[in-house]
Structures are given as C-alpha cells and as structure tokens.
Amino acid sequence: MIEVKDLHKSFGDAHILKGITTSFDKGKTNLIIGQSGSGKTVFLKCLLGLFEYEAGTISYDGKIFSNLSESEKRDLRAEIGMVFQGSALFDSMTIAENVMFPLQMFTKMSKSEMEDRADFVLKRVNLPEAHNKMPSEASGGMQKRVAIARAIVNNPKYLFCDEPNSGLDPKTAIVIDNLIQEITDEYQITTVINSHDMNSVMEIGEKIVFLKNGLKAWEGSNKTIFKTDNASVTDFVYSSNLFKKVRKMYIEENE
C-alpha cells in the first residue's frame, strides 16, 4: 500500500498540489485521472520520488520516503516497476536485452539467470518468440507489452504506469488494460496508473482518484463513479454523448 498525506508541491509561485490525501491499495488497479493541468503528472512524479515536495508525506508500506537514507531509497526503487507513456525502449537493444536491463541495474544475477527471468516474463505478456527482435520491428501493442515485461522483471511490489494506452487502438488498449489488471492481481502489486482513457476507468478502475486544480475532488471506483453526483467528475468522465447515454442506462437499470 502507498499512503499519501497532505501533499503539497509548488514550482515558484505556482501551487500545483494543494494538500492531497489518499491511498493506493495492494492488489488493485489504482487510477489517477483529471484534466490536463490538474496536477496528475506532478503527483505521479512525486510518488516516484522524482520531485521533492514542500509538505506532506508519502509512505510505502509504512516507510516514509523522505525519511529514508539514500541506500534505503535505492532499495525501494528496486521494488518499483515503471511503464512509461512512450514505452521508452532502447532502440539499440533487442527486446530481451531491454527486459533484462533492470536486472543488470539492481541485481547480481548471472547472465543465464537474467535470460531465464526475461524468458519467463516475455511469456507472461504473450511474447514468447520476441526475444531477438528490435523495438523497431514491434508494433505499438507489442512495445507496450515489452515495457510491462521490463517493469515486472524484478518482481516489483509497486507498479507505475503513465498513460499506458497512449497511441493504441481501442482493441489493443483493452488487451493492455486486462494484462495490467491480471498481473496486478496475480502478483498482488500496488499498481498506480495515470490515465485519461475513460475505457480504462470503466474497465479496470478498482480505485479512482480524480484531481482538479491540484486537489483531490473525488475518489471511488468504476462502480461508484456511475452513481456520483459530483459535477466535476460527471463533466469530465461523461463529456461525450456516448458516455452520457451509458450512464443514463446504468442509472435506469439500477433504480
């Protein structure tokens, strides 16, 4: 579990995060959503330890990040997996070499042990024959699966995903959503996803934190979001006519 208490972050005179308090549960897909400029990217970077913050605390399973020594922070980072928005694969490395990179950084495994682990996670993301391909030879959906394999290769306790469906067609996006949710449940990872994809919200939003103007404006799940009367949430999530119709149908069926 990751717990956040009264988090504040500013850049000069711009107060970006204004006292956010929330938690992200183990074994669940936790989504951060909000309009551009709401603070969700800054929030994610604070969670990752990439930004220092002026006030508040972030705790990883009871360990307050700001109180950790540098060696303890390094140990914690070894327990974190990250799926970047653009996959961020190394063009000069094969897919297997990309997946093994965190093992080279954070473990003392032998080459054969790393190869076995890479083989295992590539099979887990349904890429059993992709080891020797270059990223340029892989489709967008395959690159996302490689990024997920790399993120879980070191058996992380915490998984962060920044817009994992960015640039994907709807069908492939659903495959990626389901894969992230399956892995989260299977390995009981604390997964935090920064997303603007409303399909992801509806499909895998087991915990949803909605930010507006640097504040937590609402939190709930993909089940309770249909019922909320929070105007900011409904204006954002149900901005299209299609989602307005879906919400209306859901409410009518459950009255």
Q: What is the largest CA-CA distance in the chain?
A: 60
Residue that has been written with the tokens 């030879």 in this structure? 137
8 A C-beta contact, residue 156 and residue 190: no
User: What pairs with residue 194 in β-bridges?
Assistant: 32, 162
Chain segment 32-82, per-residue pLDDT in tens: 999 888 899 999 999 998 999 999 999 999 999 999 999 999 899 989 999
Residue type present at position 161: C
Helices (H) and strands (E) in the chain, counts: 9, 10
Q: Which of 111, 112, 57, 107 is nearest to 79 (CA)?
A: 107
Tell me the pLDDT of the chain averaged across its residues: 90
Gap between the terminal Cα atoms of the chain: 35
Residues 6+ apart with CB under 8 A from 47: 2, 4, 58, 160, 192
Mean pLDDT of all residues in 97-107: 91
In degrees and rounded to multiples of 5, residue 107 shows phi and psi of -130, 175
DSSP symbols for 10-69: EETTEEEEEEEEEEE-TTSEEEEE--TTSSHHHHHHHHTTSS--SEEEEEETTEEGGGS-
SS3 of residue 115 by DSSP: helix
- Tokens 């009518």 belong to residue: 252
Q: Which 3 state secondary structure label does DSSP give 197?
A: coil
What backbone torsions phi and psi does residue 208 show, to the nearest 5 degrees? -125, 130
Phi-psi region of 39 (alpha: psi -120 to 50; beta: other; left: phi over 0): left
Tens digit of each residue's pLDDT (9 = 90 or more) over 80-92: 999 988 888 999 9
Chain centre to alpha carbon of residue 11: 24
Say what the pTM is: 0.88
What would the two tokens of residue 27 be? Answer: 């074994």
Identify the structural domains of the chain with CATH numbers, from first to last: 2-222 (3.40.50.300)
Q: What pLDDT is stored for residue 69 in this prediction?
A: 93
**Confidence band (pLDDT; 50, 70, 90) for 255?**
low
Q: What is the 8-class DSSP label of residue 137?
A: G
